[in-house]
Amino acid sequence: MDSYGDLIAADDVLLFVNAAITSTGQREFHSDAGEQRLSLDFLHAYMLGNYRDLYAGVLALDINDHNAALIIRRLLETTGDATADQRRSEGRLIASRLATLPPQRVYGLFDALRRAGVNNRRTRAIIRDWLSARPDLAFDAVKYRSGLKRALRHAHLSPATEELGTFLFVPLTRKHYATPLLETWRRAHYEQAALYELPYTAAEGFAAKHGIPRNVFLERIAPRMTRLETLRLQDSAHKIGTTGIQADLARMPLTRLATYVLSLPVQDRLHRRAELTHALESAAGRVAGSHRGSWGKVTAVLDDSFSSFGSVHKRHRPLAVSLACHYLLGALADNYTGLWTSGRTDALLTYPYGPTPVGRRILDALDTTPSRLVIVSDGWDNAPPGLAAEVLRIWRTRLDPERHTSIVHLNPVYDAADFDVRRLSAAVPTAGIRDAEDLPALVELAQFAEGRTGLAELITYMDTRAARMNSGHHQERAR
Amino acid sequence: MTTLDLTGLATRPSQVWGAVRLVPLVRDEPVNDLRLHPQLYDDAVGLVEVDPRHAYVSYIPHGFVATWTGDGTPAAAYGTQLSADGNSPPRATMSLRFHRRMARRQAKDRLRFLPMHLALEGYLALHFGGPSLAWEEWSQRAIRQGLSPRVEEAYVGAEVRGLADALRVFEIHPNQCGVMVYVADALAAAFAVPHPDDYRALHPTLLQDLYGELIHHYATLMAPVQDFRARIADTHIRSLAHLRTAVAEQERAWGHFHDTTMAGGLLDHAYTWQSVYQMGGFTLSRFLPEFRPKQDSHIGEAITDGRGRIAYLKTFRLSESQVRRGHLLSRLAANDWHIADTAADLGIHEAQLGLRLESAGFGFLLRQDVLDRYRKQKRTRSR
């Protein structure tokens, strides 16, 4: 039997995990960026102060990159408070998490550490190890030049080669570089043809410098773009008459793809229905992997009310998560029904509109007698308010006390005022969600949120996740 | 003297943000033959789709300014107006003279004249032109000019704390054609339009409407109001079908509660109606309450169709002092503006009534010597 303290600790950790999954300190539909950041800061300070081990352990879960960077930063800032054992385990967690973070975030993090004056031995070692593990430092030097430069300077490291040092600190003093990429960069200053061999972001500056027309530039740089750059630019490229940029949608990660679909006007989605549906389905199939078709009869209630618009900073994010979940659940289940709160039935044409009658829609969902009910909503229920809670409560206590139907509520929005994601009902577990890809893991995590398992199980769970991450078997991070 | 009837507009569950509660009003079938004047949409084309086989009447909500006059200078509609075809300019406009900085904004070709001011003054002036009989107490000014021009104080919606956020996070219902705005659960305004598209266009303008000082104070001082959360007694529920019935009952109960209790202050009172225009089966009228002190009093204007159903509605909640002034004036008008008769009607002395008129801001209506006499009488009596 867990003591009160353990129960509270388990609760606090889950609360923090929910926040760390959903909040990015940006503006949301119901709260602005300032409230989000303040609320998140408090949670980080609270966790670090009370449960340092668990706080570090959260790095192994599917929290978002923003919070991962914040946790690493706070751990490094407070190195002095940690015991030798803690430092060892934290060090492993930090190193494995840094390896999965996008490089621009890591350079940003190093820069934040520099500005905060955090320069202890552990920090320097971590920067050193991360840099030595980079596959191609010359590429980093071209693409993230100032980031790399400041990281080296801050950690008192000498560049791997003398040439790299010259490139970073006095780049144009050399007549020739032996490294091909660095040489290309030097030539790009004088020669237009050379810039097309650089990474897109670096080339863009040179294109402006040489006054190359945008459509010519985009046409020729297309092969050098990353997946996401292609996806981001293809529509604006089409508008200026460049057809060379063609994103391979079928290879895009699921939630990213859903965001892209929602960014298209409804007319375009109608024209490209076959292509988009195929892309979404194959992305969902990849995520489902070996679990495909193993979830039985699943019904989902998906929120497409006006508030699922998110905010101008996270445009359509909540709706994109719903849409991605729709396709993912379709792949996971062998019999799937998706119900949108607005009552519309064509998932591909969805857009944020109208109120949130979640209660009514849950009733419709329960009518299909599912074995699993998944609700994706921001927790606001206003037509009428509180109805979803009542329906769920009565279902749990009166109509299905043996729990034949498992119900889980996934919430993509952090509620700054409550320090947690908003719950629909106490009778149903709620977990934060950021990427639909994490859905299977979150449904696993949600059982803890129901309060039926205690701290011991939670710690075991986090340890296995940490072990999995440290051994390098973490899931492919499809961001 | 009839009450306001919201038949055809169904109440949906309220949405709460801070001290503001917004209650959506939904139409099953929108009114298609009365639409907003398309000229208001100069920048956003395509909202008004006119079916060539159907004639439609358009209305121009007061408080909008567009380039209506022949020479392109902006003009404001004087109260809401009806017109049969989209091109004819409204009949009564008030030309506006802007200061240099304001005039620059004309470049966008569409200006919004801020407050409901015009309409508000219009309402009061229309009904209280001044003494209709020249009793000796009234000053020359009162007889020649009446009460006009009058100035009433009110607050722009942007000044009402929390209203902007409430309107931003409000989720508009499908087919929504209106809204009731409550601040600290006091009805601030009711607003209804014929068609959902009109409502979508005008939803943000609620922020630029006028609200009485009472509403402003409530918004500033009040704590957040409670949601009316659904409550279902679970003892008798045996199946999903039962649950569904209970849910429907909850929704019905809310609508009933709202219409009879929350909106009672607006819907239960009788109003004096004055029809202003009639066109294509639609009647534009303005209404005034009975001005009973210490009770909700709303003034407003409405367009009704042939069957008397509301197509357009806009109300303004008067502040307590406005109600008192309205009360005084309506009593005066009922007694043919005879001071002594009115005083007897109210059960007070003539001098007391005179001083009440003065403290209500109507001192200029009385002749100076009469007013002085009243003051003297009061002094002698209080001694």
**Closest Cβ opposite residue A390 in set B16, B169, B230:** B230
d(CA B234, CA A371): 23
Verify that A275 and A233 share a domain, yes or no.
Answer: no
Contact flag B234-A342 (C-beta cutoff 8 Å): no
Same domain membership, residue A151 and residue A262: no
A472 domain-assigned: no
Tell me the residues of B at the A interface, defined by beta carbons under 8 Å apart. 12-16, 24, 169, 171-174, 227-232, 234, 237-240, 243-244, 247, 250-251, 254
A19 with A97, same domain?
yes
Angstroms from A273 CA to nearest CA on chain B: 26
The pLDDT assigned to B110 comes to 33
Of B12, B15, B230, the CB nearest to A387: B230
User: What integer pLDDT is reported at residue B115 of this predicted model?
Assistant: 32
pLDDT of residue A323: 95
Does residue A467 sit within a domain? no
**Chain A nearest CA to B26, separation (Å):** 12
Is B339 in a helix, a strand, or coil?
Answer: helix
**A205 domain-assigned:** yes
Mean pLDDT across chain A, nearest whole number?
89
d(CA B91, CA B73): 15
Asked, for residue A475, whether it belongs to a domain, the answer is no
Same domain, A74 and A105: yes
Chain B residues whose CB is inside 8 A of the A354 CB are 171-174
Closest CA–CA distance from residue B162 to any residue of chain A (Å)? 12
The answer to whether the CB atoms of A354 and B247 lie below 8 A apart is no
Domain contains A190: yes
Q: Are residues A317 and A334 in the same domain?
A: yes
pLDDT for position B379: 87
Residues A410/A442, Cβ–Cβ less than 8 Å: yes
Same domain, A107 and A41: yes
Residue-level pLDDT at B101: 36
Say if residues A432 and A412 touch (Cβ distance below 8 Å).
yes
Shared domain for A162 and A200, answered yes or no, is yes
| Nearest CB neighbour to B234, from listed A355, A360, A394 | A394
Q: First and final CA of chain B: distance in angstroms?
A: 45
- A385 to B169: CB separation less than 8 angstroms, yes or no: no
Q: Does a structural domain hold residue A460?
A: no
Query: Is the ipTM value over 0.90, yes or no?
Result: no
Q: Which two tokens stand for residue A126?
A: 């971590």
Domain count, chain A: 2
- Shared domain for A245 and A263, answered yes or no, is no
d(CA B55, CA B320): 43
Residue A99 in contact with partner chain B when CB distance is under 8 A: no
Is there a contact between A65 and A105 (Cβ–Cβ < 8 Å)? yes
Q: Which pTM value belongs to this model?
A: 0.85
Assign A177 a pLDDT band (cuts: 50, 70, 90).
very high
A317 and A447, same domain (yes or no):
yes
Residue of B170, B197, B247 to mutate, testing the A interface (most A Cβ within 10 Å of its Cβ):
B247
| Enclosing H/E stretch for A95 | helix A84-100
CA triplet A21, A22, A27: central angle to 5 degrees? 145
Among chain A residues, the shortest Cα distance to B251 is held by A384
Say if A294 falls within a structural domain.
yes
Structure tokens, A69:
């960077």
- How high is the pLDDT of residue B90? 53
Q: Are A194 and A298 contained in the same domain? A: no
A320 and A221 belong to one structural domain = no
Of the residues A215, A249, A283, the one at which a domain ends: A249
Out of A199, A228, A249, pick the residue that ends a domain: A249
Kindly list the residues from chain A whose CB atom is less than 8 angstroms away from the CB atom of residue B249: none
The CATH number given to whatever domain includes residue A314 is 3.40.50
> What per-residue confidence (pLDDT) applies to A38?
92
B17-44: b or e for each residue (b if 16 or more CB lie within 10 Å)?
bbbbbbbbbbbeebbebbbbbbbbbeee
The residues of chain B scoring below 70 in pLDDT are 1, 36-134, 144-153, 383
List chain A residues with CB under 8 Å of B172.
306, 354-355
Evaluate the CA torsion angle A161, A164, A168, A170 in order and state its sign.
positive
Residue A260 placed within a domain: yes
Q: Which domain holds residue A327?
A: 255-454
Mutate to test the interface with B, among A361, A387, A396 (most CBs of B within 10 A): A387
Range list of H helices, chain B: 100-104, 117-127, 140-145, 163-169, 196-202, 213-221, 240-257, 264-267, 320-334, 339-346, 350-357, 368-382
Please report how many Cα atoms fall inside a 13 Å half-sphere around the Cα of residue A174, on the Cβ side: 20
pLDDT of residue A362: 94
Query: Nearest by CB to B171, which of A354, A391, A395?
Result: A354
Does any CB of chain B come closer than 8 Å to the CB of residue A392?
Answer: no
Please check whether residues A212 and A307 belong to one and the same domain. Answer: no
Q: What is the pLDDT of residue B206?
A: 83
Contact: B171, A382; criterion CB under 8 Å = yes
pLDDT digits (tens, 9 = 90+) for B11-36: 999 999 989 999 999 998 888 777 76
Q: Which of A219, A249, A279 is the last residue before a domain boundary?
A: A249
